[in-house]
Every structure is written in structure tokens, then in C-alpha cells.
Structure 1
Amino acid sequence: MRLIIAEKPSLARAIAAALPTTAKRQEGYLVAGDTTVTWCLGHLLEQAPPDAYDPAYKPWRRDHLPIVPSRWKLTPRPRARGQLSVIRSLLKQASVVVHAGDPDREGQLLVQEVIEYLGWKGAVARLLVNDLNRPAVARALARLEDNALFQPLYQAAESRARADWLYGINLTRAWTLIGRQAGIDGVLSVGRVQTPVLGLVVRRDEEIRRFVPYPFHVLWADLSVAAGTLRAWWVPGEQHRLDERGRLLERTPAEALAQRLVGAQGLVSSVETRQRRQAPPLPYSLSALQVDAARRHGLSAKAVLDICQRLYERHQLITYPRSDCRYLPEEHLTTLPRQLASACTNDPTLAGWLRGADLSRRSKAWNDKKVSAHHALAPTGRPFEPARLSSQEADVYRLIARNVIAQFYPPLETCEVKAEFLILEERFRASGQQVLVPGWKPLFTTREEAPPLPALNQGEACHVNAAEVEDKETTPPEPFTDASLIKAMMNIARYVDDPDVRKTLRDTDGLGTEATRASIIETLLDRGYLVRQGKALRATRLGVALIHSLPEAVSRPERTALWEQRLEAITNQADPSSFIDALVQDLHGLVGSADAAALSQAMATAQGESMAPASKGRRRKAGASNTGASNTGKGRKSAKGTRSSRSSKTRRTSRQTSGEGSR
């Protein structure tokens, strides 16, 4: 019997459907002739807790740190034991085993660790599927590879999992123990990903709190030219007092010029015209969808993820949602028009958009070379019936369908005009935009970015009809919201100075993954480090104190870039042990830097500043969910000796969320 082990049930179903024999469903697997297809449910295994290595580690003690296993152990996740038993039983009957994890680092780990844990000693083939369409899966089945070729990828993923465990376990225990001395009840969770995300919010809040506004002044003039009227803005020269952005800090020069302007004559000193063609926005990855759904519909990142899971699993309206890719397989071009026609029939909005589409068009979204483990989110072709969905589900579905339909619209073509005027020997500027071909734009908005300017010719005369000075004031940066924090995590390279680090972070996924970013935000809320104030995410006193008590390197994203460089080296066959050894050496210094007096001072300082209050609805005692202490999510003794457990929302069995508590 040939046994294929897929990463998830949806992939298993797609593989079974591509086999020549019709598959029959059994409990936990599918049978098609001499091939059996079973599946994992995300990670079935997780890193064992410290006391699995030595019962002495169950009580948390400073002199135990850093805890470094000499021989690593895995343990079954509680909710995965049943499926693990199914796979164990099937392996005993198998003559051939095929690894069908996603074609990425984590997908390689997820299935291979199960195969090895259950003691399979035979050869393993590798099936690489990144498109669930039946012809694509059938082609993948015809070109199996030797799983041994992917051993470096497995070692890199395994090293990442162990490193996150070492980092989260040891720093969480160290800071929890000094927290006890500082009078903080519960677990102070520290992780490679969650702590830099918290650091982003803390630093943004402090920038807002310390912001001192100052006034500046602008002068506009309404002008007449041969073809109409427009408004232009004065460009003060360097002889005036300006800030770093060229804004005028003294009102007097603007007032004096305004008094002379009305009735004055001038000329158009320059006209710059540029025509632009803008392709439609690409189909969504999960994070890109979370950003847009937050802005358009006020949905939290977690709400969007949950909605997508329902659209995928319950309603079967969209493809796999936890994707970091914004491109579609070229093969889908042949089937998507039919799928869109079926999907849009029952909704007037979608049907109207589809009527305006030219299905013979091909945008840059269709690109096999840019499709990774998964492709972009897209409709499956099942009829969309809004009445059977919640309003939020319908809103999110329309966004997903819209971005795919937009690929069959022409580019947006605009004419952008920038003009300068010379009036009383002073420079004025104006800009405008004219839409030449609306293309895909009406699917997204009917608002014009900037009104068009009247026709202008260099050297033509202009006349000042009115002028006025406006008093303005600088404003602080906006606090993070779900949308802007997700975007910051996606584009974390913007928040570092080192060019090499920036490049690494641009080349990777940033902080977190598509599926974990929402849970990271929710985790920080659950642990009382963040609180929602309307749409804003603000750091609490506890969150601020934790960041200020940690070494700066722990609360910044550079470590993720450094790890990615080393993991990439392992993928290219570097020795994994050197990465772990370097981390252990680093941990000795980090654990040794834990200082109760510094944490007490940080709490006192935070108390004296205007911190966001803890939310009564979300705030628990520090560490009431203690997944930051380990990868297990099983719960363990808190600092007071009481048992705690991961919330059901963050405990779901999925490979993307597994272990994130320690990250």
C-alpha cells in the first residue's frame, strides 16, 4: 500500500481527487485503489516542555537557566492524538510512504517530524503541490522526488522550532522570576516575534506621548489662467525660517505676501506632465486582505482570519486562506472565467463587476514563478449567496472576488500635471490628475485622488483672484491599529537602520507569518500588554515596563533577520549545530541581564506616565495564558502555582499557529 501523508485535509482531498481511482472516505483517511491518503491537522507534534527532560524543571528557578536539552523530544498535541493514531496504524501497513507537506520550510518539518516520530525506517518520496487544481496535482503525482533531497530544509525548520523554544522558555522564565521580585503576579511572556511587535507599539506610543506640536503656516492663492481657475501654494525660500519639511514657521512673511498678491499678475514658469499606467492591485494574500478589511470594514485581523476560515471550510467559497502569496497559477486562466461566472451570479455587485470584465485579458497576477507554497486567495466557483452568509462574511468575500475580477480590467491611465508659477518673484506650486482610462479603479473607489488642473502652457499669464494664510499645527503619528500593525509586521524592514538587515527582512516574510500575525496581536491583548481603544492598539503599563526592562535587542526585529540568514545557510547545507550553539551562548548573557530592580524601575516609570489602561474585557493577570513559556500550549504552573491554559481560540490545530506562543 502506498501511503501519502498530506499536511492538511484539504490537500489530502485534492490529492485523492487527482488519483485514477475514485477515493472512498474512511475515518481519518481516503482510499483510492492501492493508494491511501491521510493527513495531519497542522502540527500534530510540538516541542516537549522542560519537565519532560527533568522533573526538577517543573518549578521555575533562576539557577536552572538557561535550560538546554541535550537530546530533543517531541510530544503529541492533545487534540491531535486521534489523527496521530490513524497515521501510526496506516504506516504499519504501508510499503511506500509519500511526504505531501507544503513545499516550504515549515511544510517540510510538519510531515517529516511525524514520519520520524512514528518510527518509519523506509525510504520516503516527496510530493510537491502548490496548486490544488486536479491537473496540476496529477502532474505533481507523476514527478515525485526523493525526500532525502529536502533534508537541509527540514533541518532549518527543526532548528527554527528549537531556537524559538530555547528563546521563549528561558527568557520567559527569567523575566517571570524577576517579575515576582518586582511584585508582578503571573507569567511575563517573552518571544522572538511577539516581543518586537510589542516594542513597535511601545515606541510608537512613546513617540505620540512625547510629541510636542508646533504651529506652521501655509499661503494659497486662487489663480485665473486662460483655461480656467486653480489653487496654488506658496513655496517659501530658504531665507525664511522653515522646518525640515520646508514648512513655514513664522506667519509674518506669509501675511506680508498675501497682502500684495490679490490682483497681481504672474506667469506659468513650468509645466510637467506625466502619463501613468497602473496595473490592478494583485489578488490578496491573507495579510493584505487583513489590512484592507480593517480599513474598509473595521474588522480586526483575527476577525478576518476567522471569517476566511469559515469561507474556506464551511462555505467552500474561497481557496486556502493562510497564504503569503499574491499571484495565481497560469493554469487557472483557463478555468477561472467559468468559476467567476458561477460565483458572481447571485450577487448584483459582483455580477456588475464581472459584466465589465474582459476575460481575455491577462494581468501580471498570473505567474507560476511567483506562486509559492500556496497561491493568492480566490473564489472557488461555488455560487455566492449573500443571504446565507453574515454581512461580514459577505463583505470579505466581495473583497477577495473583487481583486480577482480586477485582473480582467484594463490598467488605470492617468495624466498627472505639476505646475509652478512665478508671481511677485515668488514660487507657487499646483498639481492635479486627470483620469484618462478609469480601468479597474471604479471597482475600488469612485473618489478622485486630486482634481485635474485646467490646461496650462509654460509662459502663459496668470492672475491672482484671492489669497489667504492658513494656520496649521503639526500632528503626532497615528497610533497603531490592526491594519497598520499588520502592515508594519509585513514591512518590518522599514523599522531598522542597518541596510543588510533591511535587505534580509525585505526578502523574508517580515515578522510573523500570514496566519500568525493576527494571533500575535490577540496574544498581546490577552496577556495584558496591549489594549484596544476604539480602533487603536495601545501599550499598557505592563507592556511598556516589560519592553523597558528587556535588553534592547530583544524588543527589536533585527534578531529575526539574523536568524533568517542562519536558517538560509542551513537550507544550503550549513551545520545546524552552530546556529543553536551561538543562540545558547547568547542566552547566557540575556538571562544574566534579567534585573528585578530594572523591572521595578520600569514599572514605576510607566506608572508615572500616561499609559493606556488595561481593558477590563481582555486583560488578565500577567501570564494568565502562559504559552510564551513554551511551545506546548498545554498550560503549566504559573508563578503562583495555579494551572493555566491557552485559550481555545489560540489552541486550534494548525501548523501556522503552533508554537507561536514562544515566538
Structure 2
Amino acid sequence: MSIVILAEKPSQALAYAGAFQSSVKKDGYFAIKDDLFPEETFITFGFGHLVELAPPGHYEDKWGKWNLANLPVFPAKYDFVVPKDKKKQFRIVADLLKVATTIIVATDSDREGENIAWSIIIKANAYKKNKSYKRLWINSLEKESIRQGFAELKEGLDYIPYYQEARARQISDWLIGMNGSPLYSLALQKKGIQGVFSLGRVQTPTLYLIYKRQLEIENFKKTPYFEVESDFKAVEGIYKGQLSPANKFKDSGEVLSFLAKNQAIVGVQNGQIVKVDKREKKTNSPMLYSLSSLQSKVNQLYKASASNTLKAVQSLYEAKLLTYPRTDTPYITNNEFTYLKDKLPMYKTFLGIDDETPQTQPRRRYVDDKKVQEHHAIILTKQVPSKERFNKLPTLQQQIYLLIAKTTVAMFLPDYQYLETVIETKVAGLLFKSKGQVPIVQGWKGLFSKEDKKEKSVLLPQVAVGEEVLANIRVEEKETQPPKPFTEGTLITAMKTAGKTVDDEKAQELLKEIEGIGTEATRASIIETIKNRGYVEAQKNNLLVTEKGKVLCVAIESEPLLASAEMTAKWETYLKKIGRKEGDADVFLANIQKFISHLIEAVPNQIDQVDFSAYEVKEEYKSRKSKRTVVGKCPKCGGGMVSKGEFYGCSSYPKCKYTLTNNFRKKKLTKKNIKELLEGKETLVTGVKKPDKSTYNAMVKVNDKGYLDAVSFSTNVVTAD
């Protein structure tokens, strides 16, 4: 009788082990003892995915080479393989899983976590009907939350549909990538456009969203228009007014005709106040954060990429300072509200505020058990960092923690209250409206003085109905403005709403039923992918499509399933149905195959009909290649090896696909390292970081599969500052 707890990664396993009464670290696992588990119990872990889909050449040799005649790539069944650098850990995990009588899936509590766990279990041949399967489902890595989660384990097989959904998503993305990429690349090469064009079920419509916005901006023609405004001089002061109802005029002649019709003129004339309305109003604090809304806000405030925001908030989760980040809801349950209320004095002390916090009852704007399905909003945990610990966090982590801390505490602070004054002034046959706003109670707004631009209070003079004023009517010439380029923040919103871009919080609520593209967990990586593949680049926080990206967008315009965010959203909707046991994964994948078969038949002719002469991708590639420095000879074909950003590759690509990583355990290799490795020599990599932030040196070499192997480690460990 033994229990095996399967974690997603070493840091997660370590957090679990620390929550039990005793644990002993072994090679690739922990042996634990605790009253929760009277049987022999082990915690083991993956490195994320320990298994991955086999490449096309695994099934048939001809699929290993790009050739239009070899398409489509449709395996009869999909095999999963263990990468060479993960085989040792896989064997350890597999051996433990096979002999276990109970397996507890304790990977991240989401669909991809299910995929990682069950892919390992099935590849290890450890799934047996006589075993017991349980599921740990938690929102925090704090000791108390971990222990409570293990004490209240869920039935593991109930979550199998999540695995089936994630697996269908994984295979569909693989199918489109393995077929669409060679299809379009080879078709474009026939048109003289060199290079590799990678396609994806989600990445391609995301790219097209940016492309469409860029076209709108490039083709936008500013149109002049005119508006009527007025300054007013009353006994107690001066104020401004806008024509009511608002009206835009095509030219000055139309304005003058309008004024004459209403017996008014441009310039000074008499007016009279006909209405003064004063009302006290209030606004609630911001809604709590889902991952997407947090990524959008952090990009707006600090220009951080969606990917860096996710990494930062994930680190804060692993540090037990924030709850689970990959959530799609801005709501919490009554349980979370209760503990936040209990810990409120600690949070206020950390933020250095002593304001009254009268909102002690849960409000549906923030607390709604029915709207929390898998994970609640990102909030503070019960653990609050000391000032010393907080100051040691990287800047972005500090900014994100403070933002979430303030948003969490703001829920308990008074509403922002203000006095709104509306004055209506009559001038001949025209009516002008003036609005003023004066704060009464700052409430939660006082917390966000650094994050929010200071709102200027519009002070209106004291006036009375019937008072005579002096009006000075002006005609203002203005221009229509083009739409703004996407930032990563606004693109995340566009992806979530399937292209229906809205920034207003209430409008987003109205659109919450619209199915987006991608998931909370994948949108950041999708944006990184289209950046890394040279389709878009960030300039002053704006995302702009490159020449290469434009070519791909023009090439796919005839295929709405590849270009349309709304069509892709329908696919995402069906995938979610699979997770709810309302859809069939085989049916979904069969439809993907039909679509790919259509592409293979239609795309070559479509590409042949397109004129790409306006795009300079070919020259762009040549200029890029000419600027690349050859660092050594390709061990496979003798060609030149050049840097391609995240790795080094053969300049003879796609004829030769030899690549070499540019880092060893996240430590970037120097050009000297690369040269020595390409020459078949061992090379010294210095300053490799360990989890405790100390560093070590390693001698590494390239094995016959092209991976880096450590030969030896230096005993002279240098401690990081």
C-alpha cells in the first residue's frame, strides 16, 4: 500500500513537503510521514511536461521532411515521447506511479495541470482500474491551504474531462502547426519569399487582429469637424460649457447657419442660467483581478509584457504571497472574504494606512460564490511579507504585489464620494451644459494616488437659476482621430473578447459571455510566440506588424478560420464543452483534420494569386542574414552557425535543421562557449544559478543528439550578492 503525490515541478513538491510533519529528500522525490497519510507516501514531480507529442518523423520518415506531396500529417494515433533531458526523472516518476495504490494528482489546479499529470500517468503505463485516484485542488501554496487541500481531496477521475479538453487543444495545435507551417512556408517560397512561416490555431488570428488594427491606422484619413463651445462669466466666476445636445458640423458654413437659425452669434452675447442640479454621487473601488485584467493593467501602468507579468505573479504565488494566478474571474467566495477581513489589520499596516474600513459585509461586486468555478480572483494570502523581504523582491513583483494589495484593501474602504454640479445655460435658442465635480470623501481613491492620474476637480462658481451671464461663443475646429495601436494590455483584452475591444469595466462585464481566443494561461505565451517569430515587434509599448507578419496575414486572408478571432473563439467554446462533458474530442479533432485537408487543397492556388511585390521580406531576410555573424561550422552539414535569438541555427535552414541552445540551465552561453561546443570541445559555463541564488560553474559538452550534457561541476561555489 503506497500513496504517490504527483507535483508539476520541484518547487511545488518542495512546498508540499514543507507542509507535512516530516520529509526526507531522495533522488527525484520526497518520502513523507504525516497523520494525514498513514500509508507509505511519496511526493514526486515533473519538470512541467515530462512527455510531449512525438514529431512527425516519428510516425513516418517522409513526414520528417517538408514536402507538399507529403501532406497531410495525420497520425493514426498520437504518440507521446520523453525528451532526452527528462528521461531520468521520468523513470523515477514512472517507477513510483506503477507501484502506487493511490495516485494524488497535485499539479497546478487547471486544465493544463491535468494534461501534464495524466500524460505522465498514461505514458508510464500506471493507469489501472484497481488504483485509487485523488485530486488536490488549492488556490494557495501556504502551509495551511496545502494541508486543508490534502485533507479534503477530490475524486481524481472527475477531472479527466479537463485532461481530455487540454489534450484535444494540444493535438489540434500540433496538427495545424505541423501541416499549416510547411504548407504556407513552401507555397510562399515558390513565390520567392524565403523563410519559415509558422502557423497556429490561436497565434495566427491573434496576429491578424494586430494587422487589421494597423491597416485601420495606416488607411485612416483625418476628417475635420467643428463644435460649438462657450465661456460664461457669472457674478461669482467664469465657467465653460458644451453645446447640448452635442453636435458635430462638417464645415464653418454649416456652423454659422446653425447659429443664425438659433439667433446666436460667434462672440459675446447675453445668456441666462436655466437649471442648477447638485447631486452627491459615489463610485466603488476597482473590481478584483483576473489574470487578463491584471496583465492589461500592469502593461498600462508599467509597460510590462503579458509574459513578464505572468512570470512575476507566478513567482509571488510560489513565494506564498499571492493566490493562484491563472484565474479568469474577478470574484471571490465568502470564505476568502472572511479571511481577508480577519487579516485586514496586517494588510493595512503593510500599506501604511490607518483609514477606516467600514465595508465589512461582502458585496456582490466582489463576492459571489456562484461566479467562482475553478479559481477565485488573484488576492493576497494570509501571509504578509516583512518590509525587508518585500524590498528584496524584483521591481515588477513589488509593483504587482502593491497593486493587488491596494485593490484587495480598497474593497473594505469607503466609496469615493463627490458632489456633481450640472449647470444649464440658455443663449438665444441654444442650450449649453457645464459639469463640475468636487470630492467629498476620497475613500479608496486615496490608495491609488501613484497609479492613477490625478483627476482635476472641475470647480464651478456659485450660481442661481435665472441669473444673467455673459456668454462668449466659440467655434472649435477639430479632427477625427485614428484608432490606437494595440499594446500587450489592450491585445489581451481583445483576445479575451474575441476582437471586441473594450477598456471600460462595465462594458467588459456585458461582454463576459463572449468566448475569447486562447486561455488565461496561454495568452501571454501566444503574444511572446508571435514576437519571437518575427511577426510583430514592440515599439514604445505598441505592437507593430513586421513585413514578415504582413506577408503571412495577406497570405491567410482567404481562410477565415485562420484569420478570424470569432471563428477561433468558436473552437475554444467547443473545447470548453469537452471539459464540461458536453463535447467529443474525437469529433473536434476530426473537424480540424477536415479543415487542414481543405487548406492543403486550396492554399497553393490562393498564394499563387496574391501579389507580394509590395513587401520586402526577401530583402529583409537577406539583410538580416548578411548581418549575422557566423560563430562556427555546423557539425551536421559544415554550413555556418548563426544566432537566431533564442538559439543558434544552421544558415542552410531549411535544408539543414541543426540547432544549438544558447543557454545552459538558463545561463546564457558566451560566443566562446558556442565556438568550443561546435568544435566538439568541452566548455566552461560560469555563474549558473541555483534555486537558493548561489552559483556554480559547470563543464558541458554537446551529445550526439544535440543536447548539452554536464561533464563536471566546480567545487568552488560562489555565493550571489
- Residue equivalent to 2:164: 155
Q: Quickly say closer, same or farther: Cα 1:297–1:156, change in 2 above 3 A.
A: closer
User: Which letter does structure 2 place at the counterpart of 1:424?
Assistant: A
- Residue equivalent to 1:53: 59
Find 1:394's aligned residue among 391, 395, 398.
398
User: Relative to structure 2, which stretch is displaced further, 65-74 or 527-536?
Assistant: 527-536
- Residue equivalent to 1:543: 549
Kept in 1, the 8 Å contact 2:136–2:149? The answer is yes
Distance across 1 between alignment mates of 2:114 and 2:265: 72
> How far 1:228 moved relative to its partner?
4.8
Q: Quickly say closer, same or farther: Cα 1:576–1:552, change in 2 above 3 A.
A: closer
TM-score (norm 1): 0.82
- Residue equivalent to 1:6: 7
> How far 1:175 moved relative to its partner?
0.4
> How far 1:57 moved relative to its partner?
0.6
Q: Quickly say closer, same or farther: Cα 1:77–1:217, change in 2 above 3 A.
A: farther
Q: Quickly say closer, same or farther: Cα 1:335–1:536, change in 2 above 3 A.
A: same
Kept in 1, the 8 Å contact 2:421–2:435? The answer is yes
Percent identity for Structure 1 against Structure 2: 30
Partner SS, residue 173 of structure 1 = helix
Find 1:198's aligned residue among 207, 214, 236.
207
In structure 1, list runs of 5 or more residues that go unmatched. 238-245, 497-501, 628-633, 653-663
> How far 1:22 moved relative to its partner?
2.8
Q: Quickly say closer, same or farther: Cα 1:643–1:124, change in 2 above 3 A.
A: farther
Partner SS, residue 4 of structure 2 = strand
TM-score (norm 2): 0.76
Find 2:284's aligned residue among 275, 279, 286.
279
Q: Quickly say closer, same or farther: Cα 1:80–1:441, change in 2 above 3 A.
A: farther
Residue correspondence of structure 1 range 31-70 to structure 2 within 5 A: 31-33=31-33, 34-70=40-76
Q: What are the Cα deviations for residues 579-628 of structure 1, in whole angstroms up to 9, with x where unaligned?
A: 211221121112222237736835323459xx9x9999x9999x96899x
Residue correspondence of structure 1 range 547-586 to structure 2 within 5 A: 547-550=553-556, 551-570=559-578, 571-586=580-595
Partner SS, residue 298 of structure 2 = helix
User: Relative to structure 2, which stretch is displaced further, 594-603 or 208-217?
Assistant: 594-603
User: Relative to structure 2, which stretch is displaced further, 127-136 or 155-164?
Assistant: 127-136
Find 1:183's aligned residue among 173, 192, 195.
192
Higher strand share: 2
Distance across 1 between alignment mates of 2:460 and 2:86: 64
Residue correspondence of structure 1 range 627-646 to structure 2 within 5 A: 638-644=653-659
User: Which letter does structure 1 place at the counterpart of 2:355?
Assistant: G
User: Which letter does structure 2 place at the counterpart of 1:26?
Assistant: K
Partner SS, residue 112 of structure 2 = helix
> How far 1:156 moved relative to its partner?
2.3
- Residue equivalent to 1:381: 384
User: Relative to structure 2, which stretch is displaced further, 54-63 or 483-492?
Assistant: 483-492
Distance across 1 between alignment mates of 2:517 and 2:214: 19
Task: Indicate whether 1:110 and 2:116 are aligned.
Answer: yes
Task: Indicate whether 1:475 and 2:484 are aligned.
Answer: no
Q: Quickly say closer, same or farther: Cα 1:271–1:9, change in 2 above 3 A.
A: farther
Residue correspondence of structure 1 range 123-522 to structure 2 within 5 A: 123-132=131-140, 133-224=142-233, 228-235=237-244, 246-254=247-255, 257=259, 259=265, 262-268=268-274, 275-313=280-318, 317-328=321-332, 330-333=334-337, 335-336=339-340, 351-352=351-352, 354-356=353-355, 358=357, 361-364=360-363, 365-375=366-376, 376-378=378-380, 380-385=383-388, 387-445=391-449, 447-448=454-455, 451-454=458-461, 460-492=466-498, 494=500, 506-507=512-513, 510-522=516-528
> How far 1:282 moved relative to its partner?
3.0
Kept in 1, the 8 Å contact 2:210–2:543? The answer is yes
Q: What are the Cα deviations for residues 228-265 of structure 1, in whole angstroms up to 9, with x where unaligned?
A: 5421112478xxxxxxxx42211235457474552312
Partner SS, residue 326 of structure 1 = coil
Distance across 2 between alignment mates of 1:343 and 1:182: 62
> How far 1:162 moved relative to its partner?
1.4
Kept in 2, the 8 Å contact 1:3–1:96? The answer is yes
Kept in 2, the 8 Å contact 1:261–1:464? The answer is no
Distance across 2 between alignment mates of 1:425 and 1:636: 75
In structure 2, list runs of 5 or more residues that go unmatched. 34-39, 503-507, 630-640, 668-721
Q: What are the Cα deviations for residues 102-143 of structure 1, in whole angstroms up to 9, with x where unaligned?
A: 444333222112111101124242224133354544444344
- Residue equivalent to 1:22: 22
User: Which letter does structure 1 place at the counterpart of 2:225?
Assistant: F
> How far 1:363 moved relative to its partner?
4.9
User: Which letter does structure 2 place at the counterpart of 1:381?
Assistant: V
Distance across 1 between alignment mates of 2:30 and 2:280: 56
Distance across 1 between alignment mates of 2:8 and 2:624: 38
> How far 1:367 moved relative to its partner?
4.7
User: Which letter does structure 1 place at the counterpart of 2:570?
Assistant: L
- Residue equivalent to 1:657: none
User: Relative to structure 2, which stretch is displaced further, 281-290 or 642-651?
Assistant: 642-651
Distance across 2 between alignment mates of 1:357 and 1:470: 46
Distance across 1 between alignment mates of 2:569 and 2:404: 31
Q: What are the Cα deviations for residues 306-340 of structure 1, in whole angstroms up to 9, with x where unaligned?
A: 43344455x65444444434344544455547867
Q: Quickly say closer, same or farther: Cα 1:319–1:156, change in 2 above 3 A.
A: closer
> How far 1:183 moved relative to its partner?
2.2
User: Relative to structure 2, which stretch is displaced further, 165-174 or 218-227?
Assistant: 218-227
User: Relative to structure 2, which stretch is displaced further, 328-337 or 502-511?
Assistant: 502-511
> How far 1:493 moved relative to its partner?
5.1
- Residue equivalent to 1:91: 97
> How far 1:227 moved relative to its partner?
6.3
- Residue equivalent to 2:672: none
Kept in 2, the 8 Å contact 1:530–1:539? The answer is yes
Q: Quickly say closer, same or farther: Cα 1:343–1:273, change in 2 above 3 A.
A: closer
> How far 1:508 moved relative to its partner?
7.0
* C-alpha RMSD of the superposition: 4.0
Partner SS, residue 262 of structure 1 = strand
Kept in 2, the 8 Å contact 1:418–1:432? The answer is yes
Distance across 1 between alignment mates of 2:343 and 2:412: 14
Count of residue correspondences: 620
User: Relative to structure 2, which stretch is displaced further, 638-647 or 53-62?
Assistant: 638-647
User: Which letter does structure 1 place at the counterpart of 2:567?
Assistant: R
Task: Indicate whether 1:598 and 2:613 are aligned.
Answer: no
Q: Quickly say closer, same or farther: Cα 1:642–1:150, change in 2 above 3 A.
A: closer
Distance across 2 between alignment mates of 1:252 and 1:645: 69
